[in-house]
Structures are given as C-alpha cells and as structure tokens.
Chain A
Amino acid sequence: LAKTTQPISMDSYEGQEVNITCSHNNIATNDYITWYQQFPSQGPRFIIQGYKTKVTNEVASLFIPADRKSSTLSLPRVSLSDTAVYYCLVGGGTTSGTYKYIFGTGTRLKVLA
C-alpha cells in the first residue's frame, strides 16, 4: 500500500494559486490518486482523482508526472473559504480484493486576507 508524504502546512493569500505536492514513491500500477478536502468537524469531501497526466475539474487541477511517484493539487485563485486540510490518497486495491483506503496526515492550508 503506497504511503503518501505531504507538507504539514501551507499559508497563502487570497487570489493566489496554491500547489500542494504529494509524494507516493511506492504507488502500484493499478493505484489512482485522489485528493480530499476537510473542514473542521466535517467529513472529507472529494476534490479530484486521476491516474496519470493532468486532470481538471471546476475546482482544481491534478498534475501527475509520467513516473506517478508524486502528484500536485493546484487550487486556482484561493479564497478564505479554501482554508482546510487537504489529503492525498493513493491506491487501495490489492490482488486479494481487499481495500484499505488510508489517509495520510494531510496538508493544513491557511488562506490569509
């Protein structure tokens, strides 16, 4: 099961682009990369998922290099409401059919006015 490493915290200002990088050196061939956002006392919320190259949706972009050993979540023009903890998750599937979806420590993003 791939272990992920993210910065513990980041600060940014409103209107800036924020990039959060996650390292996952042991990612397996069939693993996907998924990012979640969590506000205090709330359940995590799905942001974006990808397998390789670049994925973009209405809230974020996900960049995955060819070796897939890292990924970068890009949040364009952040606002104060983007202050949250961001989790990078990798994989979950095994050949035995069991699935452990394990969250790392996450990155605590603080957006300043």
Chain B
Amino acid sequence: DSGVTQTPKHLITATGQRVTLRCSPRSGDLSVYWYQQSLDQGLQFLIQYYNGEERAKGNILERFSAQQFPDLHSELNLSSLELGDSALYFCASSVAGSVNTGELFFGEGSRLTVL
C-alpha cells in the first residue's frame, strides 16, 4: 500500500460525458502528479501540483483540467469524453516539489472506460 488513494477504481461512462477522478496523496506529501496510461502504452505525464499550485504541464488536453485543494487532495476533471480517453489514470505524490531527491508514490489507478 503506497498510501495514495484514488477513487473511483473503475468508471464506465459514455462519450460526451464528464467525470471527476479523485486523489488523496500520502500524508505529508505536497506534490501530486497525474498520469494517463492507455492499453499497453507508457505513462503519459499530464500535470503536477505542489501545495495547491500548478507546477508543470505535460500532454494534457484542453478538455482535461485538474486542481489541488487546501487539504492537498487533487481532482482530475475529464470532459467531452471520447473513446480514446479510455485508460488507466494514475495519481502519484511526493514530499517535495522536485522528485530529484525523492520517490514518487503511485496510487492503484482509476480505470476509465468510455463507451
């Protein structure tokens, strides 16, 4: 158990819909990272937050948005869903703003299926 909690574990929805994925980082971790992993693909970095502020953006679509709340939990919002958005969405957390001297702790992921 990494200490990172993601909900829901599974989600099935239809094209055009909007969903929200939630992540609670490990106690004491200030940074939250979101990744997307499609079937048999690598992990695509989406976005990073540190103590409530956006720190870095990866290949995140304009239809996707995220935020980190004062209690440090984070939400990833996916809207106007397309079939290609079906994937595992991972949240990770780390203590510091930089991962250079620390490790990322990953949650178990939220599996999104868009029909």
Contact = CB atoms under 8 A, between A and B. Distances in A.
Interface of A: 30-32, 34, 36, 41-46, 49, 87, 91-93, 97-106
Nearest to A85: B42
Interface of B: 2, 4, 31, 33, 35, 42-43, 45, 48, 50, 55-58, 88, 90, 92, 97-101, 103-109, 111
Contact of B100 (A31, A43, A98, A105): A31
A27 to B, nearest CB: 11
- Main secondary structure on A side of the interface with B: loop
Nearest to A42: B108
A100 B48 contact: yes
Nearest to B94: A101
A105 B9 CA distance: 24
Given A42-B108, A92-B98, A98-B55, 11 more contacts: A43-B90, A43-B92, A46-B105, A49-B103, A91-B100, A99-B31, A99-B55, A100-B48, A101-B104, A102-B45, A103-B42
Contacts, number: 72
A99 B100 CA distance: 9
Contacts of B42: 87, 103-106
Contact of B45 (A93, A97, A101): A101
A99 to B, nearest CB: 5
Contact of B104 (A30, A44, A100): A44
Contacts of A98: 48, 55-56
7 contacts: A32-B99, A42-B109, A45-B106, A92-B98, A98-B55, A99-B48, A103-B43
A93 B50 CA distance: 13
Contact of B99 (A44, A87, A99): A99
A19 B33 CA distance: 29
A18 to B, nearest CB: 20
Contacts of A43: 2, 4, 90, 92, 106-109
A106 B35 CA distance: 15
A96 to B, nearest CB: 9
